[in-house]
Structure 1
Amino acid sequence: MKPIKLSLQAFLMSCLIPGWGMVYVGRIKWGIRVAALLFGGVALMGALGLITTPLGLYAFFVFVITVKLTSAIVSAVLARRYSGPPDVPRKRFHALYVGVVIILVLTLGVFRVPLLGFKNYYIPSGSMAPTLSIGDYIIADLQAGTPTVGDIVVYRWNGTEAVKRVAGVAGDTLAIVNGELIHNGENLGLFHAPADRVKGPESLEMAPVKVALGHVFLLGDNRYNSNDSRFMGQVAVEDVVGKVTGIWFSNERARIGTTFP
């Protein structure tokens, strides 16, 4: 009687664990190569900084899905044509293979910052509207380096992480006159804030302030409804987590894929 390997089982095993379906049909080296391709490709994309933008994140998803789906289809075909021993490889090897892959996945998760360099966030408030709206899913580059004026950044404050725009860095002198930002004597206008979001005394006027060494001064684009450095004070550079590079998903279709310089 011809040994039986189930095509559907091989397909599902490959979808769950990269290369597992190959192992199931006795192609152990193929399975290891598939896993190496997947994890090696992800690590390479992270090392090159290719996953830190919406486009890079989409490419990451496409790569992972393509590798897993292709290997799943090939595994299903090989299962249908299988003619080797019915008990190869043995259950112990299956357990070992799955265990090693799970450890690799957990390692990527734990060391995601140094290995992949990105993190996703959900926008729960309107302090950066209309640039960032409630319901937007953003991606941040966690290895973007020193913040510069105009950057949208994720920062730690009071035990939480929030998002604002850098209005000034160490040594800069800032003021707000008639709602316009004066940066080192240069008038930067409303500085990304829509005119209808600049109202109320706190939005229209701010006495000159100098940004301290090792700190940044943050403002929300929704100037009238933003708890930023006007109220909470300047933020230490070491508390800046990363630079927001774009919106990778949103309730508004037109916003999906938006990128920021």
Structure 2
Amino acid sequence: MGNVFKWLAISVGSVLALGALALVLWVAGRLTHAFDFYQTPSNANAPTFIIGDQFFISRWVKPERLDFIAYRSSLPEDGPTVFSHRLCGLPGDTVELRRSRLFVNGQDLDLGLQLVHHYALARADYARLPRPLFKDTTGIIPIGDSLYQVGLADADAARPALRAVRKVQPAGYRNPAILNVFPAGRNEDNFGPVVVPAGAYFVLGDNRQNARDSRYIGWVRQADVVGTVLGQH
């Protein structure tokens, strides 16, 4: 019995020591900004992150392609702030969107990603669709008397009973907001090809038709990256 109590005491002591060490490391990380918390302010990365989701980042982790990164940028209406989007293009990569699908160096990178796009729904389908499936309520727009445009996750839009048609900008349409940044940009669904310069990244939101990402703000300088997103809670 004595050995049992001794083993329990050692085990409890080890757990407490590890807990104390973890607490010290966590506090040190927070004080040095090696780890930071942020809260998602928009649905630009839905369905991966929705409004109110909290996530933490680390400046100690070098980002890889398709990681989410947090970075400093500025918009005229918002001023300087911290954005978070998916890292899609590394220096030297050729980035292109064809009918809203992302290709990097000729490879389709949308395969395996869970994304949101805008879809046209018949009024009857819109009325019976469960509201939690609306991943982008700002994208709900009536189209005439019989259709609605809705932001849906691609997996939800593919339900057999749902008659959803993805809305895609025609290749010939030229979006002035994008052309001001990228003369080869055209529009949000047909973009590029462009080559990512040295010292920069190309980022996209998972909510592809409602994200103020590199298509609108340009390259993200590596010097402006504040950390790699490690998880959410």
Superposition map of 1:144-183 within 5 A: 144-145=61-62, 147-158=63-74, 159-183=80-104
User: Following superposition of structure 1 onto structure 2, how do residues 56-205 of structure 1 map, counting pairs within 5 Å?
Assistant: 108=28, 111-113=31-33, 117-145=34-62, 147-158=63-74, 159-189=80-110, 191-196=113-118, 199-201=167-169, 202-205=187-190
Q: C-alpha separation between the residues in 2 aligned to 1:170 and 1:41?
A: 36
Q: Distance in 1 between matches of 2:85 and 2:115?
A: 12
Which amino acid letter does the alignment assign opposite residue 104 of structure 2?
Answer: H
More strand by share: 2
Shift of 1:215: 0.3
Residues 206 and 110 from structure 1, CA distance in 2 versus in 1: closer, same or farther, beyond 3 angstroms?
Answer: closer
Deviations 1:199-234 (A, max 9, x none): 443332102000010100000001111000001000
Partner of 1:228: 213
Closer, same or farther in 2 for the Cα pair 1:192/1:170, shift >3 Å?
A: farther
Q: Is the 8 A contact 2:117 2:207 kept in 1?
A: no
- CA distance change for structure 1 residues 219 and 179 in 2, over 3 Å: closer, same or farther? same
- Aligned amino acid, residue 217 of structure 1: F
Identity %: 35
Deviation by residue 1:152-206 (Cα, 9 ceiling, x = unmatched): 1111002210110011010000111111111101122365423445744333210
Other structure's SS at 1:204 match: coil
Question: What residue identity is the alignment partner of 2:231?
Answer: G
Matches of 2:195 and 2:19, distance apart in 1: 49
1:218 matched residue in structure 2: 203
For 1:128 and 1:219, the matched residues in 2 are separated by 8
Secondary structure at 2:23's aligned position in 1?
A: helix
Q: Distance in 1 between matches of 2:198 and 2:99?
A: 27
**What are structure 2's unaligned runs of at least 5 residues?**
1-16, 75-79, 119-150, 152-165, 170-186
1:244 aligns with 2:229: yes
Deviation at 1:42, TM superposition (A): 2.4
Take 2:22 and 2:209, find their aligned partners in 1: how far apart are those partners? 45
| RMSD, aligned CA | 2.5
Equivalent residue for 2:193, pick from 208, 211, 223: 208
- 1:117-153 CA-to-partner distances (Å, cap 9, x unmatched) read 21111111111111100011111122112x2210011
Query: Residues of 2 paired with 1:218 and 1:37: CA distance?
Result: 38
Contact 2:99–2:168 (8 Å) recurs in 1: no
Could you tell me how far 1:109 is from its partner in structure 2?
8.1
SS for the counterpart of 2:72 is: strand
Unaligned runs of 5+ in 1: 1-35, 52-104, 249-261
Higher helix share: 1
Q: Distance in 1 between matches of 2:23 and 2:110?
A: 42
Question: How many equivalent pairs are there?
Answer: 148
Which structure has more relative contact order (CA 8 Å, sep 6+)? It is 2
Distance 1:149 1:246 in 2: 16
Tell me the SS of whatever aligns to 2:209: helix
Aligned-partner Cα distance in 1 for 2:225–2:89: 13
The TM-score normalised by the length of structure 2 is 0.57
What's the CA shift for 1:238?
Answer: 1.2
